[in-house]
Structure 1
Amino acid sequence: MGRVLRKLHAHDLPTRLARSERLYRSMLVQRQKLIAKFKPSTGDIALFPPQDVPPWPPYTAWDFFPPSYNCPHEVDRLGTLGSGGQWVCGASRLTTKPDCTIYSFGSTSETSFEAAILQNTHSCQVFAYDANGASFGTQIAELAPGRAHFSPFALAKKDAHGTGAVPKRYTLESLMALNGHEYIDVLRLDLEGAEFEVLTALVKPYVGNTRKALPFGQLLIQIHLWETAFPQVLAFFETLEAAGLRPFWCEYNLLYQRQNKGTSDLAEYSFLNTRGSNVFIQNE
């Protein structure tokens, strides 16, 4: 009887999550082997080594950070194909969630992701911020009056929103307090390179503390490797991992690569928060 029960529950949510964690930790071992293969010091590793440097082919920076954690639900692209859409794990779990909350930063020029959230859920509230814009497009307002909220603020590692602050800057904690929120289901970030300092500061209090979960269920982020070095990128990913975030999807920005003479230093990553009791990792 015990064997039968174990077989019946072999694919339940906790089992799938545990299996994904084991696979991910195996990848972390492979990462260290890849680092050791090319250079004894991480400071000597180039993000994108020249093509004529042996052995060939060598690697790109992205090879060290594969999205090898398996989402335990469906993976769906919300928004347009090409630039703008986002890959989400278990979006169906938000369809009827009564207190569904989405935060999106850097979203005035392309809002197909936010529009898809509003179209495919019954009560999700979308809070969007972009210091370079004035409002949502009319499409968003017409889709869900009362469920779409926009403010021309910037996300920062420290608050700066007093008199004369242009643009006004808020930490995520401050914005959540301003809105009366304790939890965000999906957090989307496009910070044009500022993600390294902003997100590192945000997750630092949660690093290594398995009893304290980040206040969001998923992180969808565009990572820009502009003016960075491998140690900074490695530390960034290791900080996110130490806070319980696991990448389950990645999409390299090939449009940017084509327009910029072959550079490949932009990628969209989707992370699942594997700590706490968010809607994506708990049984319904």
Structure 2
Amino acid sequence: MSEILILFFGAVAAGLLGSLTGLGGGVVIIPLLTLGFGVPMHYAIGASLISVIGTSSGSAVAFVKEGFTNVRIGMFLEIATTTGAIIGALISGILNPNTIGIIFASILILTVILNLRKKPDHQEPLIKGSLEDKLQLYGTFPDKGVVKEYAARNTVSGFSMMVFAGIMSGLLGIGSGALKVLAMDNMMKLPFKVSTTTSNFMIGVTAVASSLIYFQRGEIIPVIVAPVLIGVVVGSFIGSKTLIVSQTKKLKVVFAIVVSILSIYMMYNGINHNFK
């Protein structure tokens, strides 16, 4: 019972940090379960995927109602992410846990770098007759009482990056939000608010696709998943309220320090074959 409570409060902390940074609790849940509780890597990934589904589903509804999320772009790019997620989940069944741990650590470092970069805020006009026009990859979003129009660019490049983001999500059990935002923000030139909210909308669907494979392999254990899911949802709720009064720059620094430490520790344990 005590271990379940510790796991619950650890998941609350993971959900809180993930909510404040906008990258989900998976980046903390995996190290917490594998290094803190000795949970086998594949079981930890399964639990993390379920927590990603819960947190994404809860917050995505609000963003859709507010008009920030572009559902059409999200559903189009989900073709890429869900395909990648299935591939990633299948690859996960082949790789040994230590290799997955090293890949996980590498993606954490990349996430820190992407999160610390200055985010551009694009607002591209629609080009008539373009691929984006034919696929209707454009829309509007509210900004300080003004409705602004935008359109996507470089759809093929963004779609390809989404496949990679999906593979990392299915392989590592994280939302890969940083990679999704990179695809939509830097490649497809979507406004920052649109790319982040649409990414959040997509994360849950991507996690569902890969979690089914983990479930089929018997790697989603209820006694692990239940406290993790509840804890992450509670932590995410607290984080959403705290975010209003928090300073973004300080949050980025805290996130960078915590995740850098976790990535180094994960890399060390992966190289020394300490994962189950």
What TM-score range do you get, normalising by the shorter chain?
A: under 0.3
Q: Relative CO higher for 1 or 2, CA cutoff 8 Å, sep ≥ 6?
A: 2
- TM-score, length-scaled by structure 2: 0.26
Larger Rg: 1
Q: Return the structure number with greater strand share.
A: 1
Give the structure-1-normalised TM-score.
0.26
Q: Please state which structure has a larger fraction of its residues in helix.
A: 2
